[in-house]
Amino acid sequence: MPAAEALNLRARATAPWGEERATALLVLEDGTVIEGMGAGAVGIAVGEVCFNTAMTGYQEILTDPSYAGQIITFTFPHIGNVGTNTEDIETASLAAASGVRGCVLKAPITRASNYRAAQEFEDWLKARGIIAITGVDTRALTALIREKGMPNAVIAHAPNGKFDLAALKRELAAFPGMVGLDLAKDVTSGQSYSWDETEWRWSEGYGHESNPRFHVVAIDYGLKRNILRELATAGCKLTVLPATATAEEVLARKPDGVFLSNGPGDPAATGVYAVPEIRKLVDSGLPVFGICLGHQMLGLALGGTTRKMHQGHHGANHPVKDFTTGKVEITSMNHGFAVDRDSLPANVEETHVSLFDGSNCGLKVKDKPVFSVQYHPEASPGPQDSHYLFKRFVALMEEKKGKS
């Protein structure tokens, strides 16, 4: 039996609503139609389907701008059971949503049971315009993605259970896919702003950096709040600029260092306007630190290339080896493109590698204070295995200041 047909049958066989009419569909580009019950926003959305293996942090995941243009399949079955709150939102811009197109869930959403819950997950999804489908055999869908790669799909929620399948397929056919897609422009902040909020502490909440030692300009390609918090906790005052900021605009702020943020889409597409500016920043001699999309575009700026991955890395259990220390970190990842290590020039050293598939996860320039990583060191699956990278960035700024 073809994988698509098997998935279709398994999804229907495990449907928790019995003979009740399905109120949501997930239609894959190979023609597979998966039925389920709708949740969250009503409507249709088109995107690339990926799977995320994290067992916690669904609110952070769904507000991570790096997921713009994607439909997230959660492999953990109980999503929404702790509700939502106002603190665990990752998008740093003022936009209402991060750009995620939808989510696919195994179990129906239950009522929240957590002391931090301020809003039910169902209501939160509606408020942010995110469509969800529940009752799906997410293990079968994950197996299909592992076998065939991340498919494009259309997700639809109609409370009356009436769908125009032909119209949904036309919507799907019009979606260009992630290759060649610049999504940073859709999730970046429209203006510059300052940031001094530090990391969350038990019983204290978020603090503020009142005596910063360094000034960092962060370029927002889809920036996550917790990255800013970790930089502030490390003693930095932050000025955030939009993705289209020029090197001249960055340098005019007279920073001690430059941060290149995470973000969604194809790095080569965003790099059309960002990479020439990154090259100028590298040539300025300032310390530069990149994460995720920032890492990929730094690789391009240094002369390397990037490639689309088969299934990407999405989860909070990814082991990465740091060649500079010999240690292995448990990391959080979210990316569908990777830097091709074989394309990197001789003056660029690979510093980190994924122990899942051997793909590149970090680099540094041998003769400049410039480095980057593919994963998210601000997250805490290790729980703090990767926080040293912020200290490494600060050390480079300290060294630069000492020489000037």
d(CA 342, CA 252): 35
Contact 133, 155 (CB under 8 A): yes
Alpha helices per DSSP H over 65-137 = 121-128
What is the CATH code for 184-403?
3.40.50.880
Q: Provide the pLDDT confidence category of residue 111 given band limits of 50, 70 and 90.
A: very high
β-pair partners for 336: none
Residue 16, beta-bridge partner list:
none
Task: For residue range 24-33, list pLDDT tens digits in order.
Answer: 999 999 999 9
H/E segment holding residue 169: helix 165-173
pLDDT band, very low/low/confident/very high, at 2 (cuts 50, 70, 90): very low
At residue 3, does pLDDT exceed 70?
no
pLDDT value, residue 14:
45
Q: Give residues with Cβ within 8 angstroms of 396, minimum separation 6.
A: 257, 287, 289, 369, 371
- Strand partners of residue 19: none
pLDDT tens-digit map of 45-87: 999 999 999 999 999 999 999 999 999 999 999 999 999 999 9
Query: Which position has the token pair 């320039």?
Result: 365
Checking if the pLDDT of 211 tops 80, the result is: yes
Query: Where are the chain's structural domains?
Result: 3-173, 184-403
Q: How far is residue 27's CA from residue 329's CA, in Å, rounded to a whole number?
A: 37
Give phi and psi for 210, each to the nearest 5.
Answer: -95, -15
Residues 39 and 134: their CA atoms lie apart, in Å, by 7
CB 79 within 8 A of CB 108: no
Here the tokens at position 376 are 């998210």
The C-alpha atoms of residue 239 and residue 309 are separated, in whole angstroms, by 32
Is the per-residue pLDDT at 1 higher than 60?
no
Q: Which has the minimum average pLDDT: 32-41, 53-62, 201-210, 227-236?
A: 201-210
Helices (H), 292-387: 293-301
Q: Determine the CATH number of domain 3-173.
A: 3.50.30.20
Crossing angle of the two packed helices 138-148 and 3-13, in degrees rounded to 10: 170
Q: For 94, what's the count of Cα atoms within 13 Å in the CB-facing half-sphere? A: 7
- Give 66's Cβ-side CA count (13 Å radius): 31
Active site residues: 292, 376, 378
Q: φ, ψ for residue 267 (rounded to 5)? A: -60, -30
